[in-house]
Structure formats: C-alpha cells, structure tokens
Structure 1
Amino acid sequence: MPISLGLQTDKARGAYAELAVLAEELDFDGVSVFSDLLYQSSIVPLIEMAWATERIRLGCACWNPFTLHPYEIANQAALLDEHSGGRAYVGLARGSWLDGIGVQPKRPVAHLRDAVGFIDALLEGEGRGYEGPTFRLDEGVRLVTHSRRLPILVGSWGPLGAALAGERADEIKIGGCANPAMIGVTRERLRVGADSAGRRAEDIGVVLGAVTVIDGDRDAARSLARREVAMYLDVIAELDPTVQLPPDLIPTIRERIRDGRDDAGEIIPDDVLDLFAFAGDPDDIAAQAQGLIDAGVDRIEFGTPHGTDEAEGIRLLGREVLPRLSPARRPAPGR
C-alpha cells in the first residue's frame, strides 16, 4: 500500500532534502511537490530531493500545461528522472485560481489529453512525432539525453478528467480528498475511458491526497487543519457528488476569504473536515487512512503542512500511523 507525502513549494533551500531524507528513513514510498499558482517552481525542490535520496518516488502533482508548455514539462520531468536514477513520474492537472493571471482554459480536458500525447511522444524517445489540436512535435525530434516513457498521473475530480485518466494515465489523483466514497465513484468514471482504450479501470491507480495535520493535541491539529483547508474547500467541496454540504458553508467561507479573515475555516463542521483533510491525533489519522485502504484506494498522499511542526508531523505519520495500517483488510483488488 504506497503511502506518500505531498509538500508545498514554500520552503528554504535545504529543507526539501531534509524532509525527503526523513521520509525515506520512515519508509514512505514517495514525495510529491505541488505546483500551486504563485508558489515557487517545483523542479528545484525535486532535484534537491533527488540528490539527497536513493529510493523514494518523486514527482510534481501537478504541472499545469496551461501555464507551462508540455515541452518544458517533459524536459523537466526527464531531468528529474535522470538525477533521481529513474524515480520520476509526471503529474498533470488543470489547476485553480488561473483567472488571477488572465488564463481561462477552454476545453481543459482536451488540452490535457493533447499535453499527455505530446509528453509521451517526446519522452519515449523514438522520434515518432505527435500532431494534436494544440501541440505538435515533428518526427525525429528527440530529447538529447532521455528516452523513457514516464508514468503519467492526471489530477482531476470530474468525470471527463477521470475518463482521460482511464484512457491515457497510470494514476488519477483526487487532490484535497479524504472521502472513501469518491474511490468507487472515480473507479466507475475511469472505466469510461479505459473501456474506450481497451484497458482495465482496475489497472489505473486511484490516489487520494489532502491537507494533513497530525499532533498529540487533537484539538490543535484540527484547528490548524480547518485554517489550511478553507482555501481549498472553496474550490473543491462542490466537486464531490457524494457530499451534501450545509447550504451557507461555501458562500460564507468565500466571503471570509475575500475579506482577508483568518477564521474562514472555523465554521467547517467536523464531518465535513474529515472528508477533505486528514486531521487529529495518530488514532484519527490511522482510522481515516485505513478507511481509504478498505475502500480500495491505491495510494494515499498525506499533504502539507503535516503538523504544527512539519518534520515532527512527518515523524508522527511514519512512526505512529504507517505501522497501524493493514492492507490485508482491503478487499482483494482486480489488478
């Protein structure tokens, strides 16, 4: 049962290496970095972690082909793969908050599909070229030092994005989600694209990742998680078809965020918080993670900030949560 960590790109030089080494020592399977709008570029933290580690899988979840050309995504992923000794994956997603920089994606899923086709063709190194509605790669064009297809992850909540993942990806990540009910929903949505491509939906990994705050002080952990998750809840909560939210919850959160208030998350009910974040003491986090495993998730990604102190939060996850998880309780997969 792969368990990975997700880091925000807001740290000082050297901090990424320290956290990645810690993750490897604690037997996590990988570390992803986010590529949220207006944060630092992800490639420098990824290379820093690649140089400091030997085993863990590394990647960006996710690069955005609306703000970065697929050539640059492929080239940076190839660089990471070479510097990590073959441990890289490529994550792609539409992203959020793009209006603020004047980017308004049209037909985003078609654009993502086009980006996947271009990136696959360039990375595999056979020079076969690619011709899509937006992106084109001439026959014979190859990267100078890379010729290996990398695993593709698509980040998406919606049915069209899931169908794309079923058709072309190795994994789909539901970012900001800790809801077991979304696993079955996503698996059925994957099946649409998988069937059209002659693939099995069970062969595409379903990844759930969300804000994580673990602490011996349960109340402190959940209070911080509420503050951290408020900004994301505004974007993603209405995308979950299995959840009935209080009717005034999202409008009130949006209003408080718009007014610059730091109490936007205080109104999030406990049951809603547990669907969109991992929050509490080790018992809480272990129970949430085991619930996802039992529901058939293929990978869990514990996201930033991990704790009131990030390194200590990661230690608690590695020492107090990972040993309690039991893949044997999960229903037998069809893969």
Structure 2
Amino acid sequence: MTVAEIGLGLQSDKRAGDYARLARRAEEHGFDVLSVFGDLMYQPPIFPLLEMAAATEQVRLGAACLNPYSLAPYEIAGQLASLDLASRGRAYLGLARGTWLGAVGIAQPRPLTALEETVEVVYRLLAGDTEGFQGKMFRLARGARLRYPVHRPRPPLLLGAWGPRGAALAGRIADEIKVGGSANPAMVGVIRERVAAGAAQAGREPGEIGIVLGAVTVVDTDGAAARARARSEVAMYLAVVADLDPTAEVPGDLLDRVKVLVDAGQDVAAGRLIPDDLLDLFAFSGTPEQVAAQAQALIDAGAHRVEFGTPHGLTDDRGVDLLGTAVLPLLDRSPRGRPAG
C-alpha cells in the first residue's frame, strides 16, 4: 500500500538561482516530486531541472511535459539521461502532445503514434539497444546509439493526457498519467476508467498506473486575495481545459466571454467572471485550510499524486513556504481511495 505523493510544479520563467532556492525549500518541507512545465515560449525545462538537481538530494525531478514535435526523441533521451545522471537516479520522463504549437508553425499529426514511438526510441537509446527501430514517424538506424554514459535504462514514464485514447495509451505503457489543469476529484474516477481500458490490453492492473492531478495554486492567509489571483491565472487556460472535463458544468457562453477578455489582455476582468464552484475544479486557491481541503478531496478520490502548480502564492517563496508549513501538515495521505500497489 502506498501513500499519496505531493508535488510542486514550477513555471520556467525565473532567474538562475531561484530554482535552487525554491527546490531546497520544497525538499525541506517534504515534497516528493518537483516538476517543471514545458510550456511554449518559456525557458526549456532542462535548465531549471539541472539547477534543482544540484540543490537537492531526495525529490524526484522531471519535465511535465516535453513533446516530440518541438524536441526530437533522441534529444529527449539526451535531456532525460543528463537529468538522471545529475540527480543520481531521480529523474522521470514526462511526455505530452503539447499545446499551442501552431503559434510557432509546428503541426501535431498522429499524436498517440508520436508519443508511443518516442517512448520506444528513448528507452532503446537509454538501454543501449543498437538493433534499430522503424516506426511510422520516428526511426533509429541499426547501430545508432548514445555516445555518453547513462544512469538508468528506464526512468519512470509520465504521460500527460485527458482524453480516452491518451489515457488508454498511459494504461498500456506509462507509470503515471497527469491531468494537467484539473483540481476536480470527479476526474480521478473518469481517468481511472480510461486508463483501465489500456491496462487490460497490456495485461496490467489499472492500479499500477498512478493518477496525478495538478493545477494553478495560490495559497495565502488572505484567502480572498489568493482566490482573486487564481481566477486571473485560470482564465488564461479555462477555455482549453473546461472542454476536456466531461463532469464540468459551465454556464452558457461563459467560456466565450472569458476568452474574449483574455485575448484582449484583460485577465483580471476575465477571472472575475469565473464562479467559485468552477474555480475550484481548475485551481487550488484560498487559505491553507481551503487548499488542503481541495487536495484531500483528490487524495480521498484515489489520486496517486497532487501537484501544486505555479504561482503557488502571492509570491513564489511565500506560496511554497505556506504549502510546506500550513498545507502539507493538514493532509492525510493514507491510501483509502487508491488501488493497492
């Protein structure tokens, strides 16, 4: 039986040194995993991850997530190998199809094939397999190999996905699936059913695949200020994630109105349109007690890991410290709702 893990997700928009400082604090507070987002037009996550690896001893580290359209599979293998070597075996491989790549002229054909073949290429390279691989989208010539040492042949795999087909793929090949942008306990059951379909095809037990939910987090002793900040943050991606959640009931033309304001650069005004119940499905926000109650609901629903995402608080440092000192101690991480494993 395993206890639920708590992770911290960071945006890669900081200065050198900030990542090490936040990572040390997070590890001291008892976080289990540190993730760096791989969002479009932000710093490549390998830079902050290597800085955090040097500043920590125990937490697992990874990008959540890289995609095989803007970064070739052999490059993904290299970045993963570098992080695993630098962290002495604490890296995980995070992959997703990616979002908003059309803004830089990158098409995303056959996303499930791209993800599955990327996993194949990465693990073949890390294992030193020189037999070659001929896929529908990617290939390795016979004899192609990495020309540097690796720490492990198979760091664990996390796939980012919401939909039935992506979740089924995770059920077949992944160690974890992350539902990014959700704080909704109802999604745990939805994803478990979707994962189970793929797990059955591969002869796996669904409980072998950990379900991770993560979202914008803003915690502060001033709960109203925290929720106001969270509304502005959520407004920027609400139109994307709300359509992915089959359990969410969104009032009328709300998403269209929010998107118009966001496109006009009026994030605060857009956030004011988001009602409390909808905000709580897509963000952790409020006082430490409120945020802890949201996280506990996910744990009780069976989430393997809860990930508190950027911006954490009204400032990074205060948010991380409040999460560590005032939220984590309130959580019961016992495996009541999760499959044994």
TM-score band by shorter chain is: over 0.9
Asked whether the 8 Å contact 1:122–1:129 carries over to 2, the reply is no
Structure 2 unaligned regions, length at least 5: none
Asked whether the 8 Å contact 2:217–2:285 carries over to 1, the reply is yes
Asked whether the 8 Å contact 2:214–2:306 carries over to 1, the reply is yes
Asked whether the 8 Å contact 1:227–1:264 carries over to 2, the reply is yes
Alignment correspondent of 1:327: 333
Q: Does structure 1 residue 266 correspond to structure 2 residue 281?
A: no
Alignment correspondent of 1:201: 206
Cα distance in 2 for partners of 1:157, 1:29 equals 23
Asked whether the 8 Å contact 2:304–2:338 carries over to 1, the reply is no
Alignment correspondent of 1:125: 128
Asked whether the 8 Å contact 1:27–1:318 carries over to 2, the reply is yes
**Mapping of residues 88-167 of structure 1, within 5 Å:** 88-143=91-146, 144-146=148-150, 147-167=152-172
Cα distance in 2 for partners of 1:128, 1:58 equals 30
| Bigger Cα displacement from structure 2, 205-214 vs 95-104 | 95-104
| Bigger Cα displacement from structure 2, 196-205 vs 297-306 | 196-205
Asked whether the 8 Å contact 1:123–1:150 carries over to 2, the reply is no
Counterpart secondary structure, 2:310: strand
In structure 2, which of residues 17, 20, 35 is the aligned counterpart of residue 17 of structure 1?
A: 20
Counterpart secondary structure, 1:239: coil
Asked whether the 8 Å contact 2:5–2:333 carries over to 1, the reply is no
Report the residue type matching 1:191 in the other structure.
Answer: A
Cα distance in 2 for partners of 1:139, 1:180 equals 46
The size of the alignment, in residue pairs, is 335
In structure 1, which of residues 67, 72, 77 is the aligned counterpart of residue 70 of structure 2?
A: 67
In structure 2, which of residues 58, 62, 85 is the aligned counterpart of residue 82 of structure 1?
A: 85
Cα distance in 2 for partners of 1:19, 1:246 equals 38
The 1:122–1:213 alpha-carbon spacing in structure 2 relative to 1, beyond 3 Å, is same
Instruction: Give the superposition deviation at 1:329.
Output: 6.7
Instruction: Give the superposition deviation at 1:108.
Output: 1.2
In structure 2, which of residues 181, 186, 192 is the aligned counterpart of residue 187 of structure 1?
A: 192
Deviations along 1:33-84, whole A, 9 cap, x unmatched? 0010011111111100111111110000000111110111110010000001
Asked whether the 8 Å contact 2:113–2:137 carries over to 1, the reply is no
Structure 1 unaligned regions, length at least 5: none
Counterpart secondary structure, 2:172: helix
Cα distance in 1 for partners of 2:335, 2:50 equals 36
Cα distance in 2 for partners of 1:117, 1:98 equals 23
Instruction: Give the superposition deviation at 1:126.
Output: 3.3
Instruction: Give the superposition deviation at 1:331.
Output: 2.8
TM-score after normalising by structure 2: 0.96
